[in-house]
Amino acid sequence: MCFKLKPCGPCCLKHVPIPWRGTYSNPCPKFASIVEISPKRVFFYSMSTKPATPARIADNKKAIFNYFIEERYETGMVLHGWEVKAVRDGRVQLTDGYVVIREGELFVIGCQINPTRTTSTHVVAIPDRTKKLLLNKAEIVRLVGKVEQKGYTLVPLNMHWKNGKIKLEIALAKGKAEHDKRDTIKDREGKREVERAMKHKSR
């Protein structure tokens, strides 16, 4: 059986007797000790690990429609145990959420995490509990200066997993005027028309 992975390079190929079918030890330190070999090609299992793509939990599509996104920040979240379990089940809603700064700290308000049915009855589960966000102090100070300017606000964009931890991406944003929102709708509808046309063409 062969897997379509690119070989490391000449440094590995010269160690492999070709033609040969089966498995063979690979002396290259960049790769694992097993390779799959066919009469024509040599494939190696890479040991190098790429950063995992953040897994989305929930999106706030309303924020993209209502605001111009100026800057994005990835924050940590202080959550209770039942909230983590609920997040794993995808029981999250960000649409009505917004971010405030209080005494030099960030908090998200209106972000709903609905408890699961298995949540202990001894736990007081408040779905829209105000949740503290974790961000570098220097970045918080910078955000304070920006938010004090007229028209700027902080909104949650999405919640996702990263390296086994729950992260909330927030944005420094400016509210859109009504004509800007109409333009957004036109752009969105135009993209959908193009996608439909491409799908119809590919059939």
Fill in the DSSP letter of residue 52. P
Identify the pLDDT of residue 83.
Answer: 95
Residue 203 is predicted with a pLDDT of 64
Asked whether residue 36 is domain-assigned, the answer is yes
| 25 and 119 in a common domain | no
Q: Are residues 35 and 59 in the same domain?
A: no
Does a structural domain hold residue 154? yes
What is the residue-averaged pLDDT of the chain?
Answer: 75
Question: Bigger pLDDT: 39 or 183?
Answer: 183
Residues 88 and 169 in one domain: yes
Residues 88 and 156 in one domain: yes
CATH code of the domain containing 65: 2.40.280.10
Q: CA-CA distances (angstroms) from residue 101 to 72, 80, 129, 143, 156? A: 16, 21, 16, 9, 13
**Residue 187 included in any domain:** no
Specify the pLDDT at position 111.
94
The 3-state DSSP class for residue 20 equals: coil
Q: In terms of domains, do 139 and 170 share one?
A: yes
Q: What is the pLDDT of residue 200?
A: 64
In this structure, are 23 and 61 located in the same domain? no
CA dist 99 to 47, 139, 155, 181, Å?
Answer: 41, 14, 6, 22
Is the same domain home to 98 and 167? yes
Closest CA to 121 of 92, 84, 82, 89: 82
Task: Judge whether 62 lies within some domain.
Answer: yes
Do 105 and 140 lie in one domain? The reply is yes
Using pLDDT thresholds of 50, 70 and 90, give the confidence band for residue 73: very high
Task: Output the six-digit token pair for 91.
Answer: 């029981």
Alpha helical stretches, state H, the chain: 10-13, 61-66, 81-88, 137-147, 178-202
Domain that holds residue 39: 10-46
Residue 132 in any domain: the answer is: yes
Let me know whether 114 and 147 are in one domain. Answer: yes
Number of independent structural domains in the chain: 2
Taking only the tens place, the pLDDT of each residue in 117-173 is 887 778 888 999 999 999 999 999 999 988 887 778 999 999 999 999 999 999 999
| In a shared domain, residues 139 and 94 | yes
Do residues 36 and 59 both lie within one domain? no
42 and 66 share one domain: no
**Considering only CA atoms, which of 35, 58, 37, 55 is closest in space to residue 45?**
35
